[in-house]
Amino acid sequence: MGRHGVIANRKASQDAKRGQLFTKYARLITVAAKAGGDPIYNIALKNAIDKAKGINMPNDNINRAIKKGTGELEGELYEAINYEGYGPGGVAIIVDSLTDNKNRTSSQVKHFFDKYNGNLGVPGCVTYMFERKGYFLIEKTEKVSEEALMETALEAGMEDMNVNEDSFEIITATEDFENVKAALQEAGYEFVEADLELLPTITAPTPSAEDLKLLKKLVAALEDHDDVQKVYHNCDEDLYGDE
């Protein structure tokens, strides 16, 4: 069987950070809306709105974020910056951020790496260990048939499916993400996560108990930062469970 507790731990983490996620997704919507405020013609904006609705962000917040991006309302100017480095135990980490103050964000990200026994590296030092893919996380329930789910996803262009104890993970090529997403939604499946993500092609060795504890704290500290959108890593252990 696959990993245990993926859904429960991920949901608990999202619930605890819901207000913070509103801020993060509002930034994401604002940046995406710079390319156009109509999600029908702006896939990045559509995906950002879908993510926001997935955590029940109010429509007023979503519309306000769109208007900031299109210039109808005054708003901050955000810059996308990625950070790369190694966490405890040699685990590769990539941090996606949207910031209105590059110096502040860089300094604080470096502080977290240093504090939890990691090393912030130079651009490109770990990206070769990851590949951008479409990713769907679906809760395993009595209503979800593994066979039917696989058939629907395969017909739409799925590359692979991982079966965990409480979830299904569906992987697609980036160009097939929207087709698979539409097919799964039409079939009535609900997503815990649905996004284009950096998935590891090289997995780090399992960290020691002490390194794993520090790694969880590092990832949690980075994810808690308002400027950080997403943290990717190549550790095969679930980092959202109990320490």
Could you report the per-residue pLDDT of 54-105, keeping only the tens digit for each?
A: 889 999 999 999 999 999 999 889 999 999 999 999 999 999 999 999 999 9
CA distances, 133 to each of 42, 148, 160 (Å): 19, 22, 11
- Nearest CA to 229 out of 195, 192, 182, 178 is that of 195
**Cβ contacts of residue 185 below 8 Å, gap of 6+?**
none
Residue 11 pLDDT exceeds 90: no
The residue count of the chain comes to 243
Residues 53 and 60: beta-carbon distance below 8 Å: no
Q: Which residue has the higher pLDDT, 69 or 11?
A: 69
The predicted pLDDT at position 192 comes to 87
Residue 10 pLDDT exceeds 70: no
Average pLDDT over residues 211-218: 96
Which segment of 28-32, 51-55, 66-70, 105-109 scores lowest on mean pLDDT? 51-55
Chain-centre distance of CA 98, in angstroms?
A: 13
Q: Average pLDDT, whole number, for the chain?
A: 92
The predicted pLDDT at position 227 comes to 95
pLDDT (tens digit, 9 = 90+) per residue, 172-183?
999 999 999 999
The predicted pLDDT at position 169 comes to 95
Phi/psi for 124 (5° steps) reads: 95, -5
Residue 238 pLDDT exceeds 70: yes
Residues 82 and 181: beta-carbon distance below 8 Å: no
Residues 152 and 179: beta-carbon distance below 8 Å: no
The predicted pLDDT at position 237 comes to 86
Amino acid at 3: R
The predicted pLDDT at position 1 comes to 33
The predicted pLDDT at position 14 comes to 66
Percent of the chain having pLDDT more than 70? 92
Sheet holding 193-200, edge to edge: 158-163, 167-172, 130-139, 193-200
The predicted pLDDT at position 9 comes to 65
Structure tokens at 56: 């029940």
Residue 155 pLDDT exceeds 50: yes
Average pLDDT over residues 181-189: 96
Burial class (CB in 10 A: 0-12, 13-18, 19+), 1: exposed
Q: What span, in angstroms and rounded, lies between the C-alpha atoms of 82 and 94?
A: 7
What is the band of 165 on the pLDDT scale with cuts at 50, 70, 90? confident
Burial class (CB in 10 A: 0-12, 13-18, 19+), 123: exposed
pLDDT (tens digit, 9 = 90+) per residue, 138-151?
999 999 999 999 99
Q: Which CATH architecture has domain 6-70?
A: Orthogonal Bundle (1.10)
The predicted pLDDT at position 76 comes to 86
Residue 228 pLDDT exceeds 70: yes
The predicted pLDDT at position 2 comes to 40
**Cβ contacts of residue 73 below 8 Å, gap of 6+?**
64, 67
What is the band of 20 on the pLDDT scale with cuts at 50, 70, 90? confident
Q: Whole-prediction pTM value?
A: 0.88
